Chain A
Amino acid sequence: MSGSIQDTFFEECEELLEAMDEGLTAVEGGDHDPEVVNAIFRAVHSIKGGAGAFGLDELVAFAHKFETVFDEVRANRLQLDPKLIQLLLRSSDHLSDLVSVARDGGSTDEEHNAVLIAGLEEYIGEEEEDLTFEPMGLGGPSVPLPIEEESEKTYEIRFHPLKEMFGTGNEPFFLFQALSELGPLKVVLDESELPGFDSMAMDESYLAWNMTLTTKEPKSSVEAVFEFVEGLCELEISSDTDGEDEAAALAALNAAFGSPGDSTEPETPVPFDAPAPAEVAPVVSSEPTEKVEAAKPESNKSEQRGPKPTLRVDLERVDRLINAVGELIINHSMLAQQIANLDVADLRDVETELEGFKNLARDIQEGVMSIRAQPVKPLFQRMARIVREASSATQKSAKLVTEGENTEVDKTVIERLSDPLTHILRNAVDHGVEKPEAREEAGKNRIGTIRLSASHRSGSVCIEIRDDGAGVNRPRVKQIAIEKGLIPENAELTDSEIDNLLFLPGFSTAKEVSNLSGRGVGMDVVKNAVSALGGRINISSTPGKGSTFTIILPLTLAVMDGMVVSVADQTMVVPITSIIETMRGSDEMINSLGADGTLLSIRGNFVPICDVAGALGLRKPDGDQPPGVYLLVETETGQRSALAVDDIHDQRQVVIKSLDGVCGNIPGVAAATILGDGKIAMILDPESIIAASPTSATFDTERRMSNAIAS
């Protein structure tokens, strides 16, 4: 049992770490909004609480220090200067390491841990002499809390839980227990609201407690005990000595927490776990998960920055659903075709209904697809860390700027993008960005900027990594390629061909093996990973200005709008997103160029014609009978081409059926789909058709490249 609870805890941790990273990134970007700091604090606090319940002492100890610093920041006793922010960033990295270690085993870097703790303590220490910090959540077991000596006070506490509190699994007993840790506590039950037995509602809360607590702790500590049931109970705390200053402090505390609802944190009872007596421990340890689910919707009402309520579903179930919806859409097309074939005079009613069916199916489908799609944000956030680590390992300064974080990509794609992106970013820091001195000499900002952006582009996802470093050192790249026998010595390569040599297997330019790159794993691994996702990767570079890697990925499993065309008696589908314009050609529009090149003249512009049938090897390119219909498409590089097909039939939504495992990669074909008549049609990939077309210069490049490699 504890295993599954622990799993939930770690899943929660993932989310919390994400929230923490997000907050820290915002802080780094200059957003010092107290709510942001609060969000980070809560995340760290929740991790600490959960870790405490599982006895992960190291994690608790570190999280506590971390949290304490944030508490100082929250109380405006510490300024968020760049140095502190850097420390916090490194600490957050370490915290996520500790979580991983706790989950997967292994060992942590003790030294690193000690350095960071010392760093954090410095900040805590400075403030310790004249100020108190409130020990939120009573602290971890192993950490002694410096508490200012204060005279004893007596608090009168009236605590009346609302029925919602019990709904979240909170237990007054543990609150009392926690209070009694603060000092002698007297609890009197107030059952005056209790109705007669007949009129008692089972789930209503009738009981209240009046408590008298004598403690040295400040009022805020007493408040802290009820932190997790705030908004779930009626609470009055009055002290015999306190005056308006305490009231002000309370107000400040409430303000710091935003509104009551959001302090119902998931790990509610955990802080009380450590001091709790043995017999209640099992109960407590089973609670975090229940609370997680129950408390979440609560915390959302008022919490915009916090995570949205989520549902964890087995991925397989979603996939089954997606498949079923795909079938539904195919089924609809078949039905529509069958009905159209019927010899019935008046089909209008049926057609209207069928249209409704189609819209519904589309709705369901979009909904289902969006379940799998996830924003790239968490992935990008992890990448910030990679850049941070890479720059500190290479003594360079670089910062990561991310764009289009909310671009939604299929979950599988996100998962499998992590490695290639890590690799590219490390390379960007290690090879791309220059040393600060060199940057200054070149008249650039000392801090290198690496821009990571995601966007949807013509039915694909485009991920771009752009650095403002030195760019590819082409003479050197070429020399290495020659040395390693990757290209013949006399090879004449264009700049872009040289850039693309980086993707050849066994290529690595690092002169010395550094910590980061140069382990013999080159960019070819990146390329393979991207290809495995059905994507493409490109590099473009300007010496002195930097390099850009562009990764184009398909929106997997998606349904897309396609144009149904016929090519050499075969029905095929061209993604509509890549088509700019369609037109019927006439002889005078066609111009020959050289031996086998033909150009289509469109309003004074000439674009190369690419015969689809020829490119697919379905018909010998004889050139005498140009097919009549042209689809004007634009490639990712902005190059335009006219795809020649025999005819256009229809425009419709098609379900993409992957050809993975059915046959190997076919040049020119992206996937397949099933048409209304049950036949399979190939979905064409205009990009690779153009590349495979003899008229294209790209093909020439590739052929020369492969020749070069082969020789």
Chain B
Amino acid sequence: MQSQAEVKIGDQEVKHAQQSEFVSFTVAGQAFCLKITQIREIRRWSPVTILPHAPVDVLGVMNLRGAVIPIYDLSARFGLQQTEASERNVVIVVAVDGKPVGLLAESVSEIISINPEEIQDTPQVDSRHTMEYIQGIISHDDTMVRIINLDAVISVPEQGLS
């Protein structure tokens, strides 16, 4: 940590160009993040329309300015407990292949700027889902922030639905 901080100060200009920004948020008490460029907008949770016969991690659909977008419960998708959605929760709208998709998260924390080299590979764990959904991890303020692999999160379970 210490050495990294020193590099940051000493090499401010170069750093700035290389840094990527992530938006971190919590899902079922764990910290996750997405690249800021992947996020279209963040909305307060409002009740969605239930899709019949939908899997547990698909909450339903929401009206986003005239477009019908599906809302996924990230927590359920990661195999954690289902989120009891409330007014305090947020929907992170991301675009996958140009199509907007909403992801339910507990709350949004902050924007993290880090060096791409600081991203660590996901350590090998048993859960196959974890490996698929998590692209890498960042150490930030002594906590572990998981970088979500958006394509895997959105596309894999969708096949199960159809």
Residues of A whose CB lies within 8 Å of any CB of B are 323, 326-327, 330, 570-571, 616-618, 657, 659, 661-669, 672, 674, 678-682
Contacts and interface: CB of A to CB of B under 8 A. Distances in A.
**Max chain B Cβ within 10 angstroms of own Cβ: one of A327, A662, A669, A672:** A662
B69 interface: yes
Interface residues of B, number: 23
Given A323-B66, A672-B49, 19 more contacts: A571-B49, A616-B53, A617-B53, A618-B52, A657-B67, A662-B68, A663-B58, A663-B70, A663-B158, A664-B162, A667-B52, A669-B51, A674-B68, A678-B63, A679-B49, A679-B63, A680-B60, A680-B68, A682-B51
B52 A668 contact: yes
A232 to B, nearest CB: 50
Interface in B45-70: 47-54, 58, 60-63, 66-70
Contacts of A681: 49
A573 B14 CA distance: 57
A344 B48 CA distance: 30
B70 A570 contact: no
Nearest to A613: B52
Closest 8 CB pairs of A and B: A664-B162, A616-B52, A680-B49, A664-B161, A657-B68, A327-B66, A662-B70, A672-B68
B54 A666 contact: yes
B70 A674 contact: no
A662 B61 contact: yes
A125 B58 CA distance: 74
A657 B61 CA distance: 12
Contacts of A668: 52-53
Interface in B88-127: 99
A674 B66 CA distance: 7
A691 to B, nearest CB: 13
Contacts of B158: 663-664
Contacts of A682: 49, 51-52
Nearest to A689: B52
Contacts of A616: 52-53
A319 to B, nearest CB: 14
A657 B53 CA distance: 19
Nearest to A675: B63
Nearest to A615: B52
19 contacts: A327-B66, A616-B52, A617-B53, A657-B68, A663-B51, A663-B54, A663-B58, A663-B61, A663-B161, A666-B51, A666-B52, A667-B53, A668-B53, A672-B68, A674-B63, A679-B63, A680-B48, A681-B49, A682-B51
B132 to A, nearest CB: 20
B17 to A, nearest CB: 36
A314 B47 CA distance: 38
A672 B60 CA distance: 11
Given A674-B68, A680-B68, A669 B58 contact: no
Nearest to B69: A662
Contacts of A678: 63
Nearest to B161: A664
Contacts of A618: 50, 52
A323 B68 CA distance: 13
B63 A665 contact: no
B66 A326 contact: yes
Contacts of A680: 48-49, 60-63, 68
Contacts of B54: 663, 666
Given A663-B58, A664-B158, A664-B161, A570 B49 contact: yes
A663 B48 CA distance: 14
Contacts of B159: 664
Given A659-B68, A662-B70, A570 B63 contact: no
A659 B162 CA distance: 11
B61 A617 contact: no
A663 B52 CA distance: 11
Contacts of A663: 51, 54, 58, 61, 70, 158, 161-162
Contacts of B99: 661-662
Contacts of A669: 51-52
